[in-house]
Amino acid sequence: MHEFSLVMSMLDLAEKAARADGARRISAIHLEIGALAGVVPEALEFAFEGARVGTMAENARLEVTYLPAIAYCATCQSEFELDNRFGIAVCPSCDTPSADLRQGRELQLAHLEVEE
């Protein structure tokens, strides 16, 4: 349940950004999470349900965009999307395994919707 720690960090960043903008309430929080970030959506929702109580985001929606994992093939000098959930990055053009993950670890607070 590291999702609880992530949610606490998310709420902290969100409240700071909302306050800096002069808002009183946060109506939506939008996250971007990489396919290999190790986040369980249900655990994230569960943690958010508990942690948002008493915060500016008490009634906010949580919206999550999941980003596909993308690796870089040094041989073909091109990026490719991983076609599996196992983190196996093998270039579809030349069959070379890649250790160079370019996207998929994201745990990003993208934007908020706020109200006065």
The binding site for another protein (CB under 8 A) comprises: 1-2, 5-6, 9-10, 12-14, 17-18, 21, 23, 27-28, 30-31, 36-38, 53, 58-59, 61, 63, 65, 85-90, 97-99, 101, 105-116
Q: Dihedral angle at the C-alpha atoms of 100, 101, 102, 104, nearest 10 degrees?
A: 180
Non-local (6+) Cβ contacts of 115 within 8 A are: 23, 24, 25, 26, 27
- In angstroms, what is the minimal distance from the CB of 45 to another protein? 14
Q: Which is nearer to another protein, 78 or 97 (CB)?
A: 97
* Paired tokens of 102: 């370019």
